[in-house]
């Protein structure tokens, strides 16, 4: 599997590399990094030929967007595709305020506040452009509207749909850690793509029930995030391993250990298997793993090129560790 192969992302018309860069870690997720290191992460991805960068105002209360902006400064704008998110605006934070940034270290003095209104979205876009230091954004995701479906479909969706109609953006999307509401968006709106975080991986494939076939039917391209499920498939099933942004529960640790045991028997890197498994489904256009380490960007690149024997996938099916209807790489 070649990470530089390009595929059209749903109905956006944008040709994206199969491997992109997720930028939540650049906002200080689970530990901060220097400005120089953050810039190097972005520049390493671009130097390798990756062309999709995904960020959000939430990630470190604007810190990730600013660091992405520093990383792409001076780079030809047509050489990369930039996605960010709407649904939260950043308000000044006062001492004692809950900044809603528990997993982000050293956030600036702002707090993200849900706002899926038309005006809130337009404000969010303008502020993101300023933080990124660019003149356009290619894809806008409605971000985490789990408890705000009606506000999102009545406010945020018409706002970004209008920007698409005006040619300001190319992709109308939603980005979530659940598949059920994305399926509802697919049925009720005209979406080009989705960001699905953590809900289609070696550890779970329930999105096969409805979302993924619906996206194939409607030509909605999926950017898959969280293919390591917050790190448990990257760092191992050990005490303190993360799953879905929290400590992994026992049943997830047990399944991860079973997956890793099969991988060991076939001399397969579980991270390579996790990355390639997601991309085997026709609905999934690309993966966007996040990292704070430039060398991890290079590693993610190399993982897609690793050869994985068919016997490995066959044993996963035989052991009921992946679903029978889950496609696997050739």
**Would you say 67 and 133 are in contact if contact means Cβ atoms under 8 Å apart?**
no
> How many Cα atoms within 13 Å fall on the side-chain side of residue 74?
5
Selecting among 54, 115, 138, 144, the annotated active-site residue is: 54
Residues present in the chain in total: 330
**Would you say 51 and 75 are in contact if contact means Cβ atoms under 8 Å apart?**
no
Q: Based on the residue annotation, tell me whether 63 is a catalytic residue of this protein.
A: no
Selecting among 32, 59, 111, 200, the annotated active-site residue is: 59
What is the Cα–Cα distance from 80 to 261, expressed in whole angstroms? 38
What DSSP string describes 41-97?
HHHHHHHHT--EEE--TTTTTTHHHHHHHHHHTTS-GGGSEEEEEESEEEEE--TT-
**Would you say 9 and 192 are in contact if contact means Cβ atoms under 8 Å apart?**
yes
Q: Based on the residue annotation, tell me whether 54 is a catalytic residue of this protein.
A: yes
What is the Cα–Cα distance from 151 to 149, expressed in whole angstroms? 6
Give the angle subtended at the CA of 229 by the CAs of 172 and 182, to the nearest 5°: 30
Task: Name the helix (H) or strand (E) containing 259.
Answer: helix 250-265
- 329 alpha carbon, distance to own chain's centre: 21
Selecting among 32, 66, 80, 85, the annotated active-site residue is: 85
Helix (H, G, I), strand (E, B) or coil at 115: coil
Task: Name the helix (H) or strand (E) containing 276.
Answer: helix 270-279
> How many Cα atoms within 13 Å fall on the side-chain side of residue 44?
21
- Going by C-alpha positions, the residue among 234, 227, 231, 225 that lies closest to residue 202 is 227
Active site residues: 54, 59, 85
């Amino acid at each position: 599997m070649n990470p530089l192969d390009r595929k059209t992302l749903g109905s956006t018309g944008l040709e994206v590399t199969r491997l992109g860069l997720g930028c939540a870690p650049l906002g200080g997720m689970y530990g901060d990094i220097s400005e120089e290191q953050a810039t190097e992460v972005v520049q390493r991805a671009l130097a390798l030929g990756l062309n999709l960068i995904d960020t959000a105002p939430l990630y470190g209360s604007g810190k990730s967007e600013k660091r992405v902006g520093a990383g792409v400064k001076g780079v030809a704008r047509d050489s990369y595709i930039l996605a960010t998110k709407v649904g939260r605006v950043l308000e000044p934070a006062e001492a004692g305020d809950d900044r809603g940034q528990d997993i982000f270290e050293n956030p600036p003095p702002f707090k993200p506040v849900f706002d899926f209104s038309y005006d809130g979205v337009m404000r969010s876009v303008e502020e993101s452009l300023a933080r990124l230091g660019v003149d356009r954004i290619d894809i806008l995701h409605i971000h985490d509207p789990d408890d705000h479906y009606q506000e999102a479909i009545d406010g945020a969706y018409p706002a970004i749909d209008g920007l698409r109609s005006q040619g300001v953006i190319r992709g109308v999307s939603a980005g979530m850690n659940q598949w059920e509401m994305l399926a509802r968006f697919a049925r009720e709106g005209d979406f080009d793509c989705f960001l699905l975080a953590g809900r289609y991986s070696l550890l779970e494939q329930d999105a096969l029930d409805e979302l993924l076939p619906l996206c194939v039917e409607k030509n909605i391209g999926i950017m898959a995030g969280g293919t390591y499920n917050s790190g448990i498939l990257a760092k191992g099933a050990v005490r303190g391993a993360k799953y879905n942004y929290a400590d992994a529960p026992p049943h997830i640790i047990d399944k991860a250990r079973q997956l890793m045991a099969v991988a060991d028997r076939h001399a397969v890197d579980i991270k390579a298997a996790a990355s390639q498994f997601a991309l085997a489904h026709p609905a999934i256009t690309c993966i966007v793993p996040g990292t704070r380490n430039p060398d991890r960007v290079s590693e993610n690149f190399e993982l897609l090129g690793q050869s994985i024997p068919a016997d490995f996938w066959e044993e996963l099916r035989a052991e009921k560790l992946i679903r029978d209807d889950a496609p696997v790489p050739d």
